[in-house]
Structure 1
């Protein structure tokens, strides 16, 4: 079974939602038969790389809330994260473009290190003291190397604006086609969609239901049609 997760590094509910999904998956009896693929989604597509501002400022300007409301929201998210065992800085974080991070995640996917890099990007954005948006490309290279990727190769990806750009845009277009206008968005076997950072119990239910409703293989060929197996090939019958 395949689970695709559309998310953004700048999305706090994606950070919390991933932890809740991971908890449900860890307890799922068929977890070793579940493939998880992370898809790209930008909360601010087209945002300039140098357009960085404090999270509280972004919230007040983009959503029209007061500073007190924005701070209260961050405090609530911090509590939600803590309940999942996650570190979360409620003050002093920045908000900016995540496009290069998504490009790196596609590069990491090619090398089987997507999950490892995603974990480090989330932690760098939500828990670390240094802003992942103002520390420069070398900080992203360091995170990629810590995730098991070749530093020079990661540096080359960041230096080429076209590298994996089409893959990021394709993911975002697919999200729109699926009707996902917010993240996190989980798609199980292209049959069930789960929107938002649901409790682990909801993800458990979704995994169980999707697994139980998988369509079994229907064999149409009859015996004697000619097959090969571990014990050799079938001897043709005489007409």
Structure 2
């Protein structure tokens, strides 16, 4: 059974959702029969390459909030991350274009190291003081995941490398009706939207494994997501972070 996960490295709920999904998968009796494929989704596709700014400043400007209010929004999301045992820095993360990161993730997929690179980049972006938007840092992270440094530099130097793969993933997300991430599609029968609790993922895996035909794609969209405006909902509130 294949599980496809649309996500963006800039999305905190994708970071949290990946951890929760993996816990849910660990509780699934047929976990060894599940293939996980990560697919590309840019929250801010119009963001200019090379323009990097503190995420708190971006949030304050986008939502017309003070910097203190933006920090409070970040802290809300951080509390959810920490409850999953994840590190989360509040206030000093960067925000920029993720297109090149997605291209390198497709290289990693071709080399069988996609999940490894995604894990390393998430950790660097949310838990460590390393900017994933710096090309040199991205190369270092890719090497940590097991990729060849020269091959990664070659992809970054060629704007067309894996660009079509990223765009194809994004078109497919639109065709499936995904306007926010994380978005999980199980065997093309069941969709789960957002950073759901681990037990929701286990139940969805069990349902998909049983082969129940659900047409059109049935979607549980009650979880927290980041949408295409780079807004990230916090469960139980009307606030965004």
TM over 0.5: yes
Partner of 1:202: 200
Q: Which of the residues 161, 164, 181 maps onto 2:159?
A: 161
Once residues 14 and 162 of structure 2 are traced to their aligned partners in structure 1, the CA distance between those partners, rounded to angstroms, is 22
How many residues are matched?
Answer: 213
Q: Give structure 1 stretches of 5+ with no counterpart.
A: 216-239
Report if the CA contact (8 A) 2:139-2:149 is conserved.
Answer: yes
Once residues 142 and 214 of structure 1 are traced to their aligned partners in structure 2, the CA distance between those partners, rounded to angstroms, is 44
Q: Deviations over 1:78-124 (max 9, x none)?
A: 11111111100012111001100000000000010000000011011
Partner of 2:177: 179
**How far is the alpha carbon of 1:60 from its aligned partner?**
1.5
Q: Give secondary structure in 2 for the equivalent of 1:79.
A: helix
* 1:61 counterpart = 2:53: no
Partner of 1:38: 38
Once residues 132 and 88 of structure 1 are traced to their aligned partners in structure 2, the CA distance between those partners, rounded to angstroms, is 15
Once residues 36 and 19 of structure 1 are traced to their aligned partners in structure 2, the CA distance between those partners, rounded to angstroms, is 13
RMSD: 1.2
Once residues 113 and 61 of structure 1 are traced to their aligned partners in structure 2, the CA distance between those partners, rounded to angstroms, is 36
Once residues 187 and 97 of structure 2 are traced to their aligned partners in structure 1, the CA distance between those partners, rounded to angstroms, is 30
Greater CA radius of gyration, 1 or 2? 1
Q: Give structure 2 stretches of 5+ with no counterpart.
A: 214-241
Once residues 70 and 17 of structure 1 are traced to their aligned partners in structure 2, the CA distance between those partners, rounded to angstroms, is 22
Q: Give secondary structure in 2 for the equivalent of 1:163.
A: coil
Once residues 65 and 200 of structure 1 are traced to their aligned partners in structure 2, the CA distance between those partners, rounded to angstroms, is 33
**How far is the alpha carbon of 1:69 from its aligned partner?**
2.7
Once residues 91 and 57 of structure 2 are traced to their aligned partners in structure 1, the CA distance between those partners, rounded to angstroms, is 11
Partner of 2:146: 148
1:7-86 equivalences in 2 (<5 Å): 7-86=7-86
**How far is the alpha carbon of 1:159 from its aligned partner?**
0.7
Q: Deviations over 1:5-63 (max 9, x none)?
A: 00000000100000000001112111110000000000110311121111111112223
Q: Give secondary structure in 2 for the equivalent of 1:74.
A: helix
Partner of 2:226: none
Once residues 72 and 211 of structure 2 are traced to their aligned partners in structure 1, the CA distance between those partners, rounded to angstroms, is 42
Partner of 1:127: 127
Q: Give secondary structure in 2 for the equivalent of 1:100.
A: helix
**How far is the alpha carbon of 1:65 from its aligned partner?**
3.2
**How far is the alpha carbon of 1:130 from its aligned partner?**
2.5
